[in-house]
Amino acid sequence: MSYACSMAATQPIVGFTRNPVGTPEIPGVCVKVLGAGKPSRDELLGFVPGLSALVTMYTDAVDDELLDAAGDQLKVICNFAVGYDNINISACKNRGIVVCNTPDAVTEGTANIAWLLILASARRLIEADRYARSPDYPKHGQLGMDEFLGMDLCNKLLLVVGAGRIGYATAQRAKAFGMRIAYVARSRHLDFEMAPLGAHRMTLEEGLAAADVVSVHTPLTEQTRHLLNADNLRLLKKEAIVVNTARGPVIDEQALVNALDEERLWAAGLDVYEKEPEVHPGLIENPRVVLTPHIGSAEIAWRRAMTEMVCANVAAVLGDREPPNRIG
């Protein structure tokens, strides 16, 4: 898919840093797209001059340098994600630039990935998959009764760290597996505590000590960086599973690797990484770790919905209306 704007275009220019899924429909604008893969910093800086609206991915750093390069005509930045820790909100506010995100469209897909990671970790999918592909399977024949034993989830406790939309959707799915639910949040969330979830609010320390599965859904802030660390990971049971579909730096990756290497955890499932896209070698080498390349929202329907949401936000700001998903 390619888009182009003529040099003589008088319409506002909306720039996407990646190819969108679906067709962007924004009346009265010219759409241009930088490319398919992650752009270099120089490519990004060269792309933004003259834009009235910029649509970014979570890996595109939006800071003073980029905003200066864009120019005074830039009115809105919309992140193609729910998280926005890549954007300097204060710098945008100082320039009168509206910042938006795409919260609802990522909820179901990310909750699905969280559960894919939970199930794959509990049932040792990576080890089983490798074995089934190897010559050892036909050579040795039927497995013994004590091989590839997994972890049962029925009546186990799921701890949801971060009680937002995705955390709620993940907890909903847990009910189908007969799990009990607890949550960690700065304040009470009655939607978690009432039926059908019936969840209990716990402190992080209480929750980690009691949990069989920990699913991380908190945004990345200075307060949540290394929220799970060497000290509190020691509270977990040896049979516990840790899953992260939020932001990599919420977990101290080295501490997680140490816990896995020392067999203080059953398994881990990760869709995000502390130094993304780099993955810690200790995670790659461990067969009890399930890894996916930040594909939480990568379902066709939801990515199209994200494109539609981006277009609605951009169209509103350029039309001097309040956008549906303003964050700054």
Q: How far apart are CA 161 and CA 223, in angstroms?
A: 13
Q: Which of 124, 189, 217, 247 is catalytic?
A: 247
Shared fold status for 13-105+300-318 and 107-291: yes
Q: Which of 65, 193, 206, 276 is catalytic?
A: 276
Residues facing residue 251 across a β-bridge: 228
DSSP 8-state code for residue 218: P
Does the pLDDT at position 123 exceed 80? yes
Note the pTM of the prediction, 2 decimals: 0.87
- The pLDDT value recorded for residue 141 is 84
How far is Cα of residue 36 from the mean position of the Cα atoms in its chain? 19
pLDDT in tens, 141-179: 888 899 999 999 999 999 999 999 999 999 999 999 999
Q: In angstroms, what CA-CA distances link 281 with 261, 273, 278, 289?
A: 12, 12, 9, 11
pLDDT in tens, 69-121: 999 999 999 999 988 999 999 999 999 999 999 998 899 999 999 999 999 99
pLDDT in tens, 20-32: 999 999 999 999 9
| 247 is an active site residue | yes
For the chain, the domains span 13-105+300-318, 107-291
For domain 107-291, the CATH class is alpha beta
- The pLDDT value recorded for residue 104 is 87
Q: How far apart are CA 258 and CA 42, in angstroms?
A: 37
Q: Round the average pLDDT of the chain to a whole number and report it.
A: 95
Q: Which of 288, 294, 303, 308 is catalytic?
A: 294
Task: Report the greatest alpha carbon distance in the chain.
Answer: 72
CATH number for 13-105+300-318: choose from 3.40.50.12780, 3.40.50.720, 3.30.1360.120, 3.40.50.300: 3.40.50.720
| Helical ranges in 29-135 per DSSP H | 41-47, 64-70, 89-94, 107-122, 125-133
Does the pLDDT at position 8 exceed 70? no
CA atoms within 13 A on the CB side of 43: 13
